[in-house]
Structure 1
Amino acid sequence: MHSDKQFQMNGKRRFGKQVGRIILVLMLFCRWSTPAAAQSDNLPGGRIKMGFNDAWFFGKDEKDQAGAASLDVLKWKKITLPHTWNAKDVLDDEPGYYRGTGWYKKSFKSNMSWKNKSVFLCFDGVNQETEVYVNGRLAGSHKGGYTGFVIPIGHLLKFEGNGWNDIAVKVSNRYNEDIAPLTADFTFFGGIYRNVNLLVTEDIHFSKADYGSDGIYIRTPLVSDQKAAIQTENKLENASGKIRKLKLITVLFNAEGKQVAEKTTSVLLAAGESKLIKQDLPVLEQPNLWSVDRPYLYRIVSRITDAAGGGILDQVSSSLGLRWFKFDAEKGFFLNGKALKLVGASRHQDYQGIGNAVPEALQIRDVELLKAMGGNFLRVAHYPQDPVILESCDRLGILASVEIPIVNAITESEAFTAVSKNMQLEMIRQNFNHPSVVIWAYMNEVLLRPKFGNDKIRQQLYFDHIRELAQSLEDLTRKEDPSRYTMMACHGDFDRYHKVGLTKIPMIVGWNLYQGWYSAGLDDFAKFLDKHHQVLPDKPLLVSEYGADADPRIRSFRPVRFDKSIEYAINYHQVYLNAVLKRPFVSGAMAWNLADFNSETREETMPHINNKGLLTLSRQAKDTYFLYQAYLLDRPFLKISSELWRDRAGISDPSGTISTQPVQVVTNLTSAELFLNGKSLGIRQSKDKLCEWEVPFKQGENSLRTVDPNNPLNSDQLVLNFNLVPQNFTGPLGKDFHQLNILLGADRYFIDQDLHQVWIPDQPYQQGSWGRIGGNPFKGSNNRISYGSDKNILNTDLDPVYQTQRIDIKQYKMDVPDGDYELNLLFSELIGGIDKEALAYNLDNNHVKEKAEERIFSVQVNGKVFLKDFNLAENYGYATAVKQQIRLNVTGGRGITIDFIPVKGKPVLNALQLRKTN
C-alpha cells in the first residue's frame, strides 16, 4: 500500500472517480434535507422534532485528557453529522485503527416557547460509550453502539440572558470487556455516526424513557383474510407538577388516508406519573394484508388530548402491516398461510470512503437493491441499524431479522449480561412496530473462538455461562414479544453447539455455513442441512450466512477455492441456492453479504475489506448479484454477467487474429442466444441459470448482445475492449505488439481498473513466443489457497499482482521484435515478517509459523547484470511491493532473455511488465 499512508476512496483501491461525486451529491442532499425530513414528523400538537446534525465541531482526545469543562485542550474541526473518525485509518497499512475518545460540541439558542416543555436529544446511534453534557453538566449516558437512545435536557437549558447553550458529547469506541461486540469480522467505527434530532414536547407526552422507543406498541393478536384484531399499548408520562385528566385517542387510517377505526380512553395521570394504557380497536373486517408482493401499510395515529378540550398535547404516527406467519421445521416458512422460501442477504452498514457515517439516501438504496435483486429477506447483521433500514423493509416488502452484537465470545460478568439485556430490550422496543420484523436474534458464532482451550474444566464453565446468557436473553425476548420468533446464528460446528445445548434454546437455529470456502467440500453443504433435519427434526432452520470472496478484479477460467475469482463465487452460490431451494424444511438462506464491507484486520487480495458481497463497497453489482436476479425474479431476466469486466486480454490463436474465451449469460429463461459484433454464436440451453459460449474476440472493441430466442425484444448488450496478446511474435501481431502484463505463479486474470490494464497468467516458454523457464508456483504456509499468498502487500494498490510468484525460476524469455522497450520486474518477499494470527473463520486452516530464509540472487538481462546480489527482505522488507525498471534496445532478432542467478536461496519473480516504447 501507500508508503505515505495517503487516503484514497477505497483505501487500497479506487473503483472509479464518479463514485466520489455520487457520494458527495448524496451527502449534500441529505445534509440539506435533514431538517425538512425531521419536520415531516411534526404533526399537530405539542411535538416538534428538528434535525440537529449541523454546525458541530469534533476533536480527537487521544490522551483522554479533556473533560466537559476543559475542551480547549483539543484541536477542533467543523463537521456535520453523521460522522466517524475512522473513515481513513481503517484502510491504511498501519495495523489497527483509532479506538479511543472523541468529543463533539455544538452551541444553540433556546426558544422561549420551550421553557415549560420537555426537551430531548434523540441519538439514532453512537459507537459505543456516550456521555452527554449540557452547559457543563452531565445530562445522561449510554452504552452500546448500535441502538438509539434519548437524553432529556430541558432541565439544563438556559432561557435567561442570550439563551445560548453548549452541548458536549464524549464518545469512545475503546475495547470494553463489558460491551458487545468484543471481537468480530467487521470494524468498530467510532463517532456519532447516525442522525441526531432535538425533540420538544408538552409535559404531557408519550414516554421517551422506555428504552429509546416512542412509547407505543402495536399488537395484532388475530389476523386473517376476514378480520384483524388490533391492540395498542401506550406509555403516557406526566412531567408536570399537577394531576391531569386526559383522553387517549387512537385512529386507524388505511393506505388511502381514510379513517377506518378509532378508540378513545379516558386517563387520569398524577403529577410525575407514567402509566401504561391498553386499547383494543374495533375489529377490522376484510383487512388489506401486508406481504412481500403487496406491502400494504395502514397508519395508526396516537393522540393525547386534555379531557376538557384545548387541543392535542402529543401525537405519534406509526405504520401498521397486517400479516401472520409461521416457521415450520418440516415445511419451511409461511406468510399469510402461503409457503414462501426466504432468500436474501445480510447487511453491514458501511460504505466506500465514508465508513459507517452513511447518509439515509444510500442506506435506503441498499434495501432497494435487495428488492431489485428479487430478495425477500434482510438479516440485519450483526447489530441493529439505522431506523430507515426497517422503514424501507416495511415499505418495500422485505422480511427481516434483527440481532444484538454478541459475536464470537462473551465476558462472564454481571456487567456484560446487564448491557446485553439492555441492548435486547432497546432493539425490541425501538423496532416493535415494524411489520417486516419476524425474528429477534441475540448471538452470532459465539462458540467460534472458545476461551480456555488449554483448560477443559474451565472451558466447560465458560460454555455453561454462554448457555445461561443465551437462555436469559431467550426468556426476556419471548416475554417482551411472544408474537415473533427467536434465533441464534451458529457457525458450522454442529456437534459443538448441540453438545453445549445452544441448539435447544432459540425457536430457530441459524447456521452460518461456508463449506467449500472456510471448510473444504461444496458437497458438504447439503449434507449439513440434512444432518440438522435428521438430528433436530422439530427445529426450524435458516442458513443465516454463506458466501465466498469475490474480488471483481479477479477472473479465472479454471476457478479454485480461495482464488477470489468471480467465477468460483458464481459456482459456489449455484451449489448453495440449488440445495436450499430443493429442501422444503430449509426456511430460507441469507447470502453473506449484500455488499462488501470494512474489516480492518483482514488482508488477502483486497486488504481491510471482506469482499463476499454481491455488490462492491460502492454498490456496483457483481456477477453474483445478477445470478440472484436470475434465480429470484419472477419476470424474464437476461444479463451478460461481465458488467465489471469490460477490459479483457488473452493470448491469440495461431492465426494471430482472435483469442477465444468463455462468456456467461445469467438468465431465468430456458435458453439464450449470443451475438458477437452482430454475428450469432448460437443458442445455448441454460443450466443452473447460466448459458456459456466460447467467444472469438478480436483486437479492440467487441460488441456482445444476448437475446431471448422467443422474444428478441428481451435482450442485453455489452461493449468491451480486448487486448490481443501475441502467442508468436513472428506472426501477424508481432509487428503491432505493444505491451505484456504477466502474473507469475497464478492461474487467474487481474484487472487494473484505473489504468484499464489486464494482467494475464504466465505460460511456459516456446520458441518464437514468451514465457518462463523453470520454477514452481509459490504456496503459502496454510492449506487455504492452492497458490500464492494472502498477505497485505505494502506500497501498492495492486495486491494480487504481487501475491503470486514463481520460486526457483531460472529464466524468462520473450522473442519480441527489435525495438526499444521498458521492462518492469515486480518482486515481493512473501516468506517471513511478523507472524499474524490465523483468520479464525478458516475452520480447516493448518497455518504454521513461517521461517524466513535468506534469499539473494542476481538478475541479468540479455547477458548484462541488472540486479546484483538482490536481497528483497533486507533492502525492502517483507510483503512489500518492489518494482525494478530497465530500458533496453533489442537488435539482431535476439529478443529479451532474463536470467535469474541464485546466490543464496531460490530466486523469485512475481510479475513482469514489458512495454514497447517506439
Structure 2
Amino acid sequence: MDRYALLKINLALLLAACTSFSFSQKVPVPGRTVVSLNDQWDFSIDTLSKSGDNDAPKGLNWQKVNLPHTWNAADVMDDDHDYYRGKGWYKKTFKLNEADQSRRVFLYFKGANQQTEVYVNGQYAGKHSGGYTGFSIRAGNLLKYNGVANEIAVKVNNSLNEDIPPLTADFTFYGGIYRDVYLVSTNNIHFDDPDYGGGGVCVTTPTVSTQKAAVDIRSNIVNSGPTTASLQIVTLIQDQAGRQVSTQTSALKINAGQSSVITQHILSVSNPHLWSPDEPYLYTVSTRIYDARSHQLLDELSNPLGFRWFSFDAGKGFFLNGKAVKLIGASRHQDFEGLGNALPKQIQVHDIEMLKQMGANFLRVAHYPQDAALLEACDRLGIIASVEIPVVNTITESETFYHNCRNMVREMIHQNFNHPSILIWAYMNEIMLRPKFEKDKLRLEQYYKHVVELAQSLDDICRREDPSRYTMISNHGNFDLYNRTGLTAVPMLVGWNLYDGWYGKDINGFARFMDHAHQLMPEKPMLITEYGADADPRLHTDTPVRFDKTVEYAEHYHHIYLKEILKRPFVAGAAIWNLADFNSNLREESMPHINNKGLLTWNRQAKNVYYFYQANLLKSPFIKIASALWAYRTGTAVNDGDTTALQTIRVYTNLDSAQLCINGKLLGWQKAIDKQCQWQVPFINGENMIVVTAYDRGKTYNDDVRINFKLQPANLKRVTNPFTGINILLGSKRYFVDDFNHEVWQPDQPYQKGSWGFIGGVPYAVNNGRQSYGSDKAISGTANDPVFQTQQLGITQYRLDVPNGNYEITMDFAELMGSKTKDLAYNLSRSAGSQQSADRVFDVYINDKLTLEDFNIAEQYGKARAVSKKMQLVVTDDNGIRILFRAKKGEPVLNALQVKKIY
C-alpha cells in the first residue's frame, strides 16, 4: 500500500472519529437564509488571462472540485522545492427563486488566498486583498431570478505581491478558495458589517465579578428598503440550559438607505457562571430586529457569551477571574498532509480537542486568522487564544501595504470579536529578523522607524476597535534591537520567539534571556510565543545532540524549557512551536518541505513530546510509554552469545512511580523524576510486549505497546540468532525507521573482529555551527533523506564478518559537498554550511573484485542526489564481506550500507 493510499485511510478514520460541525445544504434563520455553495465547482490553473479579465480565457483545463480547495495540496512536496504561485479560476452555476428578488443577496467567502476577484454573470462584483480573513460581496443587482441560471466566476491569485502581507515566512502560501463559501440572503432591514466582514453585532462585558456582570450589545443595522422603518431591537441572554437570564428591548427609527448603530446595556446579570479553561461555561446572546408595527421578525443573529475578567501583570503573570493562571499551549498552522490548507471543519475542531487533551489552556493562532470553527472550539473547550495578522519578517514601505495591514487588523477584530476565548490581538511576528538595507546603516534606521510607525498605527486600531483586549507583538531573540528601536514599547504585551539550544548554540541561554529581558523591561508583561526543536518521528538516538532532528533531543529540549518557564512567575505564558508539523516548501533538512517542530505529525499523530506535556499539564492520572512510536527497532547484543539487546524505554506519568514488565518479566519500580521513569530494557529478537503499571488511590493505571525488534548478534557467525541482514547509517549516531517498509537503520561503529564496522575516515560534518555530524540538505530522488544525509568521509574499508552464503549488498551514496542550501529566514546562523568542492573520484572493490571504477558521484549523478548501487555476492572463503575504497582524487565516501542474506 502506497503512502497516499494509507493517508486516505487514516484521514477517513480521523474524520469519522471527529465531532461533525458540517453545515447542512440550507440553514434557515428567520429573515436570513444561509446556503452553502461548497459543492460542484469547475476549477483550472490559469497562466493565460490578464489583469482585469472578467472571465477565464479559452483553453483552460477544467476539473470538478468541491470547496474547501487548494491547488497546492500536492506540488508543495515536489523535489524541486517549488510550487505553483499564480492565478486560478473557479466557476459555479446556481438558480434563485422569484422570492429572492426582493431580498439582499451576498456572497460570503471565509477565505481565499490571497488576491480575489469575483464576477457574477460576467460582470465585476468585487475584490479582496489578503488570504486569511473573510469578505462579503454584494451580488443582488447582478443576479438573475425565476429559476434562470447564474454563474459565479472567481479569480484567485497567490503570487507574491509586495503590497500584501505576508511577503516571506517559514510556511507555504497555498492558493485557492480554501475555506467555505455561502450565499446569504436577508430582508431589506438586516444586521451588517459591510466594510470588514463581521456579523454586525458586537458583545462586550464591561464589568464582571462573581456577584454580577454587565453586557453591552452594539448592533449595526442597515435599512436598504425604500421607506423609513420603525423597529424594535430585542436582545435575549440564555444560559447553557436555554433558560432566559435577561432581556432588553430598544426602539429604533432608521431612514431609507441608511444604517444606524445602537448599543443596548444589560446592567446586571446576577451570579454569572464564569468562563475559564477548567469550566468553559457559555451563554447565548440572541439579537433580533422586529418591525415595530407588524411585529414581524426581520433578522436575528446569535453569539456566544463568556463571562470572565482577566489581566496581565509584568511581575506576576496572567490572572483570570482573579486567579493566577500560567498559560501553556501551542501555536498552530492550518495545513494537513494531503489536503494543504483546505481542511474540513472536523480537522479544525480535532486540533483543538487534541490541544485540550494535552492539558493545554492556550492557543496562539499563528501567523494569520484561521477558520471560525477553530475559535468556536476554543470557546467551547476553554482554550484561551491569541490571534494575529500575517505581518511576518519584513514590510514594504508603501501606503498600499500599510492600508492592507490596517484593513487586515480591522477584519480580524470585526470577524472574531464575539469569541470569549480571544484575549489578545497581535499584528507582527519577528519583523526585524531579516531587515532590508543591512549594508546601508542610515537607510536601515529609516526602515526600522517605518516598522515602528506601522506597529503603532496597528496597535492604535486594535485598542480603538476593541479596548477590552490586550495587544501583542512577537519578536525573535535580538532583545537589544527591538528594545533600541522602540518596538517593545508599542504593544501591551511582548512575545519572544526563542530557540536557544536549537538555532542558538547554548540551551541555557533561554533562561538567561528571560531574566535579562525582565530586568530591563520590568513594566512589560512577557510571553514566550515560540520555542521548539525539530523532531522527525523516524529518527532516534541514545546520544541526543543539538540539530540531530531526533525525537529524543526534542524531549530533552522541551524538558529544560518547560521547567524554566514554570519557575518564573513573570512569564505569563508560553506557546510551543508548533501544535503540528506543517508545510514550509523551501525547507530542506531530514524531511524536506516540513517544519518538524510539531507536537503532532503533519497527519496529527502524537509524538513523544505530546505525552511529555500531558504528564506535566494534566490533572487527572496519566501514564504513557513515550517510546511507543518507535515500534520497529534494531540493536546489537552486547556480548557474544547474548539473546537480548538493551535499549532505553521512557515512560511519562504524573503519578509517583511505575513498574515495567517486558515479555512477562518484571523489571521493577522506578520513581518518577520530573514526570519521567526510565528503564534499560532487554529486547529479544521478534515481538516484545511491554506493559507499564502505576497505582493511585486504589486504582490501577497502565499502558502497553508491542515492539518488533531485530536483534543483531555480537558475533555475526553465531549459530544461535544467525545473521540475516543489517542496515547501517555511516557517519551517524542515530537510528532511522522507514515506516512504510518497516526497515530500521542503525548507527555505524568502528570495525571489531567477528562483527562489522568501518575502517578509516571521519563522520562528515557540515560547517554551519549547528550540526555535529551529517547535513541538513534535502536529497533528491528519495523519501528517506536521513539515509543519505550522513556519510563516512575518507573511508578506506568496510568489513562484515558474515558467515559463508549468498548476499545482496546495497551501497548508498550522495554527494553532500558543494551544493548550497538556500539561506532562509529561520536559519539564524546565516550559514549554508560547508562549500568545499565535490571533487572526488574513487574505486570500490568488494572481496577483491573491482565493483565501481572511477566513481565520481557529482559528475555522474549531480549533487545532493540519492545513488544506490546494488549487487549480489557469494561468500565462500570464511572471510566475510570486505569492501575496499581506493582514492584517485579527493576522499572516498559511503553514506549507508544494506546487507541481506539471501540463503
Same fold (TM over 0.5): yes
Matches within 5 A, 1:465-614: 465-614=450-599
Q: How many Å apart are 1:689 and its aligned residue?
A: 1.5
Q: Please say if 1:716 is aligned against 2:703.
A: yes
* Inter-partner Cα distance in structure 2 for 1:730 and 1:610: 43
Residue number among 370, 377, 386 corresponding to 1:385 in the alignment: 370
Correspondence for 1:136: 122
Identical aligned pairs, as a percentage? 53
* Inter-partner Cα distance in structure 2 for 1:903 and 1:22: 51
* Inter-partner Cα distance in structure 1 for 2:202 and 2:405: 22
Q: Please say if 1:287 is aligned against 2:275.
A: no
Matches within 5 A, 1:838-877: 838-847=823-832, 850-877=835-862
Aligned to 1:390, the other structure's residue is in SS state helix
Aligned to 1:90, the other structure's residue is in SS state helix
Q: Please say if 1:399 is aligned against 2:384.
A: yes
Aligned residues, how many?
900
The residue type equivalent to 2:497 in the other structure is N
Q: How many Å apart are 1:208 and its aligned residue?
A: 3.9
Q: Please say if 1:785 is aligned against 2:781.
A: no
Q: How many Å apart are 1:606 and its aligned residue?
A: 0.3
The residue type equivalent to 1:261 in the other structure is S
Correspondence for 1:219: 204
Q: How many Å apart are 1:731 and its aligned residue?
A: 2.6
Stretches of structure 2 lacking an aligned partner (at least 5 in a row): none
* Inter-partner Cα distance in structure 2 for 1:761 and 1:699: 18
Q: Please say if 1:375 is aligned against 2:363.
A: no
Q: How many Å apart are 1:59 and its aligned residue?
A: 0.8
Q: Please say if 1:680 is aligned against 2:670.
A: no
Q: How many Å apart are 1:68 and its aligned residue?
A: 2.5
Q: How many Å apart are 1:112 and its aligned residue?
A: 1.3
The residue type equivalent to 2:11 in the other structure is I
Aligned to 1:283, the other structure's residue is in SS state strand
Q: Please say if 1:361 is aligned against 2:346.
A: yes
Aligned to 1:115, the other structure's residue is in SS state helix
Q: Please say if 1:244 is aligned against 2:232.
A: no
Residue number among 116, 120, 123 corresponding to 2:109 in the alignment: 123
* Inter-partner Cα distance in structure 2 for 1:666 and 1:33: 33
Contact 1:34-1:51 at 8 Å conserved across structures: no
The residue type equivalent to 1:19 in the other structure is L
Contact 1:82-1:359 at 8 Å conserved across structures: yes
Residue number among 68, 83, 87 corresponding to 2:54 in the alignment: 68
Aligned to 1:313, the other structure's residue is in SS state strand
Aligned to 2:770, the other structure's residue is in SS state coil
Q: How many Å apart are 1:841 and its aligned residue?
A: 2.3
Q: How many Å apart are 1:73 and its aligned residue?
A: 2.9
Aligned to 1:217, the other structure's residue is in SS state strand
TM-superposition CA deviations, 1:58-92 (whole Å, max 9, x none): 01112334832454331110000000001111101
Q: Superposition RMSD on alpha carbons, in Å?
A: 1.7
Correspondence for 2:645: 659
* Inter-partner Cα distance in structure 2 for 1:500 and 1:513: 19
The residue type equivalent to 1:539 in the other structure is K
Q: How many Å apart are 1:158 and its aligned residue?
A: 0.8
* Inter-partner Cα distance in structure 2 for 1:349 and 1:326: 29
Correspondence for 1:749: 735
TM-superposition CA deviations, 1:544-584 (whole Å, max 9, x none): 00000000000010000000001100010010100011111
Correspondence for 1:269: 254
Aligned to 2:75, the other structure's residue is in SS state coil
Q: Please say if 1:47 is aligned against 2:35.
A: no
The residue type equivalent to 1:370 in the other structure is L
Contact 1:749-1:759 at 8 Å conserved across structures: yes
Cα pair distance change 1:848/1:17, threshold 3 Å: closer
The residue type equivalent to 2:415 in the other structure is Q
Correspondence for 1:96: 82
* Inter-partner Cα distance in structure 1 for 2:241 and 2:804: 78
Contact 1:57-1:105 at 8 Å conserved across structures: yes
Q: Please say if 1:738 is aligned against 2:748.
A: no
Aligned to 2:714, the other structure's residue is in SS state coil
Stretch of structure 1 that moved more, 45-54 or 676-685: 676-685
Q: Please say if 1:771 is aligned against 2:757.
A: yes
Aligned to 1:832, the other structure's residue is in SS state coil
TM-superposition CA deviations, 1:369-391 (whole Å, max 9, x none): 00000000000000000000110
Q: How many Å apart are 1:28 and its aligned residue?
A: 9.5
Q: How many Å apart are 1:650 and its aligned residue?
A: 0.2
The residue type equivalent to 2:391 in the other structure is I
Q: How many Å apart are 1:680 and its aligned residue?
A: 1.3
* Inter-partner Cα distance in structure 1 for 2:713 and 2:15: 47
Stretch of structure 1 that moved more, 237-246 or 560-569: 237-246
Contact 1:783-1:845 at 8 Å conserved across structures: no
Correspondence for 1:429: 414
* Inter-partner Cα distance in structure 2 for 1:802 and 1:463: 43
Stretch of structure 1 that moved more, 890-899 or 462-471: 890-899
Correspondence for 2:678: 692
Cα pair distance change 1:112/1:27, threshold 3 Å: farther
Contact 2:812-2:869 at 8 Å conserved across structures: yes
Correspondence for 1:20: 8
Correspondence for 1:455: 440
Aligned to 2:511, the other structure's residue is in SS state helix
The residue type equivalent to 1:714 in the other structure is Y
* Inter-partner Cα distance in structure 1 for 2:757 and 2:624: 36
* Inter-partner Cα distance in structure 2 for 1:28 and 1:625: 23
Aligned to 1:830, the other structure's residue is in SS state coil
The residue type equivalent to 2:546 in the other structure is R
Correspondence for 1:3: none
* Inter-partner Cα distance in structure 2 for 1:262 and 1:561: 60
Correspondence for 1:727: 714
Correspondence for 1:343: 328
Correspondence for 1:255: 240
Cα pair distance change 1:845/1:560, threshold 3 Å: farther
The residue type equivalent to 1:225 in the other structure is T
Stretches of structure 1 lacking an aligned partner (at least 5 in a row): 1-7
The residue type equivalent to 2:63 in the other structure is K
Cα pair distance change 1:28/1:192, threshold 3 Å: farther
* Inter-partner Cα distance in structure 1 for 2:806 and 2:834: 45
TM-superposition CA deviations, 1:583-612 (whole Å, max 9, x none): 111101100000000000000000000000
Alignment TM-score, normalising by the size of structure 2: 0.98
Correspondence for 1:830: 816
* Inter-partner Cα distance in structure 2 for 1:28 and 1:413: 48
The residue type equivalent to 1:715 in the other structure is N
Cα pair distance change 1:773/1:848, threshold 3 Å: closer
Contact 1:83-1:191 at 8 Å conserved across structures: yes
* Inter-partner Cα distance in structure 2 for 1:235 and 1:202: 15
The residue type equivalent to 1:631 in the other structure is N
Contact 1:134-1:165 at 8 Å conserved across structures: yes
Matches within 5 A, 1:175-186: 175-186=160-171
